[in-house]
Amino acid sequence: MTDGSAGCNRRLLMRLISQLTKLLPYFYAGVGVVVLWQAVVWIAKPHVSLLPSPLMTVRTFVELVASGALLSHVAHSVFRVVSAWSLAALVAVPLGFAMGRWRRLERALDPVVELFRPISPLAWIPLAILWFGIDEGGKIFVIFIGTFFPILLNTIAGAKSIDPVLIHAGRILGCADNASLFRKVVLPASLPQVIVGLRISFGTGWAAIIAAELVAARSGLGYLISNGMEVLRSDFVLVGMVTIGVLGVLFDVVFRWLDRRCNWMRE
């Protein structure tokens, strides 16, 4: 083995160790929750329909994974969130840039945004069922409402926070029209803020899908939790909750990585 390959392997090993070290807080938190959970089971001795042991929950998790049921529920939930989140981004990002760069448009639309923004996505569920029925459209609509406003507000903030010196420098260095100025200056400068909005909105949508699937659904993690409650299988409920938490952390890791990549590109 040459010195170059050995050095490359050492760097890869150090990078892997560094990444694993960052996961230690999550491992410690998980161990602490499991220990406390088991202690409650030992002390209170609740019925398994109320609080199963961690071991029983792990067995249920393995059974659901082996049967393919859990993966099917995860796939349905992820599809709904990604679909609604993508639609929200397609609408909110261009609108946010427009409102952030043109004051008249912002003054005209800001009252409408502030009127609808405080309304919880859960409040839209009855209307979603009336308008779209119990099919996918209603669930995607509820998530769209939950993901739209964080993307919009962060995009507006990113577009408005650009240093005027950068705009002036862009015009001097050859950005003769608004399109080239947007592509070369406005978009790169505001992209980190936009990614923050996308990250926050995805978490909001991930929470909203659970509420949407609690009503009139036959698949998804929300349905798994609701069905577990109805048949007194709290292990189903806990498996659904743990899966939601783990997937939420993984999605957040992806967005953090994208944020770092954007910062490196800017530098």
DSSP string for residues in 107-120: HHHHHHHHHHTTS-
Domain range spanning residue 158? 51-266
The closest of 103, 100, 94, 110 to 160, measured between CA atoms, is 100
Q: How confident is the model at residue 27 (pLDDT cuts 50, 70, 90)?
A: confident
pLDDT at 66: 92
Which range has the worst mean pLDDT, 67-71, 231-235, 260-264? 260-264
C-alpha span between 239 and 241 (Å, rounded): 5
146 and 223 housed in the same domain: yes
Which range has highest mean pLDDT (50-54, 92-96, 245-249)? 92-96
29 and 116 housed in the same domain: no
pLDDT at 95: 92
CA dihedral 175, 177, 180, 185 (to 10 degrees): 60
pLDDT at 150: 92
* Mean pLDDT of the region 74-87: 91
Residue 78 has pLDDT above 80, yes or no: yes
C-alpha span between 32 and 175 (Å, rounded): 56
Q: How confident is the model at residue 252 (pLDDT cuts 50, 70, 90)?
A: confident
pLDDT at 125: 84
Residue 88 has pLDDT above 90, yes or no: yes
* Mean pLDDT of the region 85-94: 93
15 and 58 housed in the same domain: no
Per-residue pLDDT tens for 191-231?
A: 888 888 888 898 888 888 777 787 667 888 888 888 888 88
Question: Which residues have C-beta within 8 Å of that of residue 56, sequence separation ≥ 6?
Answer: 48, 235
30 and 110 housed in the same domain: no
Per-residue pLDDT tens for 157-190?
A: 888 887 776 666 666 666 666 666 676 677 777 8
Count of all residues that appear for the chain in the document: 267
* Mean pLDDT of the region 130-147: 86
C-alpha span between 180 and 109 (Å, rounded): 26
* Mean pLDDT of the region 103-115: 88
Q: How confident is the model at residue 235 (pLDDT cuts 50, 70, 90)?
A: confident
* Mean pLDDT of the region 13-30: 70
* Mean pLDDT of the region 41-53: 85
The closest of 267, 82, 77, 75 to 189, measured between CA atoms, is 267
| Average per-residue pLDDT for the chain | 81
The CA–CA distances, whole Å, from 75 to 115, 220, 242 equal 34, 7, 16
pLDDT at 1: 47
Using a cut of 0.85, tell me whether the model's pTM lies above it: no
State percent of the chain over pLDDT 90. 16
The closest of 133, 53, 45, 148 to 96, measured between CA atoms, is 148
7 and 104 housed in the same domain: no
207 and 125 housed in the same domain: yes
Q: Burial-class residue 216 by CB neighbours within 10 Å (0-12, 13-18, 19+).
A: middle
C-alpha span between 235 and 238 (Å, rounded): 5
144 and 232 housed in the same domain: yes
23 and 118 housed in the same domain: no
92 and 25 housed in the same domain: no
* Mean pLDDT of the region 145-154: 92
More confident residue, 248 or 16: 248
Number of structural domains the chain divides into:
2
Q: Coil, strand or helix: which one is 173?
A: coil
55 and 30 housed in the same domain: no
C-alpha span between 224 and 50 (Å, rounded): 16
